[in-house]
């Protein structure tokens, strides 16, 4: 997730929204742009489940197209698509990214790391299921000089 996060950062994760929506019999759907922590067990070279930290790019029902180092998301509000890396709460310059096109199911998210050229994310292991989401990144508490609320 470099440059947003670095190895050795200490993070606090907000699990409350997911817990409350599950108690209400619903699935927790994070917002586009949120940084989430989730379980992934389809990683090449690893045995078992690993926890990953990635940014939500596509929401259930969205079509996500990564082409010529540009990300575009198509949904009902944006039938001509938009680039989530250029609007909203974050901006990312993407120097290199493999081409991908996928339409997400009703329980799927498309996630990407902020270090796009060097990130194992939904371009490689596919969309994640909402049930894999542990929580949303809430706070970086260490290093102290770089504490940040997300």
* Residue 63 structural domain: 10-149
Average pLDDT for 45-56: 90
4 in a structural domain: no
Burial of residue 101 (number of CB atoms within 10 Å: 0-12, 13-18, 19+): exposed
Residue 53: is its pLDDT beyond 80? Answer: yes
Number of domains in the chain: 1
Q: How far is CA 139 from the centre of its chain?
A: 16
Average pLDDT for 92-98: 65
Q: How many CB atoms lie within 10 A of CB 24?
A: 9
127 in a structural domain: yes
pTM (predicted TM-score) = 0.89
Residues 99-116: pLDDT tens digits?
A: 889 999 999 999 999 988
CATH of residue 56: 2.10.109.10
């Amino acid at each position: 997730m470099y440059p947003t996060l670095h190895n050795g950062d200490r993070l606090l994760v907000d699990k409350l929204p997911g817990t409350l929506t599950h108690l209400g019999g619903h699935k927790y759907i994070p917002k586009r742009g949120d940084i989430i922590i989730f379980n992934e067990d389809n990683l090449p070279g690893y045995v078992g489940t690993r926890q990953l930290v990635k940014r939500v790019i596509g929401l259930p029902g969205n079509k996500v197209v990564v082409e010529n180092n540009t990300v575009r998301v198509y949904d009902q509000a944006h039938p001509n698509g938009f680039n989530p890396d250029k609007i909203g709460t974050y901006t990312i310059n993407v120097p290199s990214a493999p081409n991908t096109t996928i339409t997400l199911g009703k329980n799927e998210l498309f996630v990407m790391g902020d270090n796009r050229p060097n990130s194992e994310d939904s371009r490689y292991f596919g969309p994640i299921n909402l049930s894999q989401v542990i929580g949303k990144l809430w706070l970086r508490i260490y290093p102290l000089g770089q504490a940040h609320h997300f």
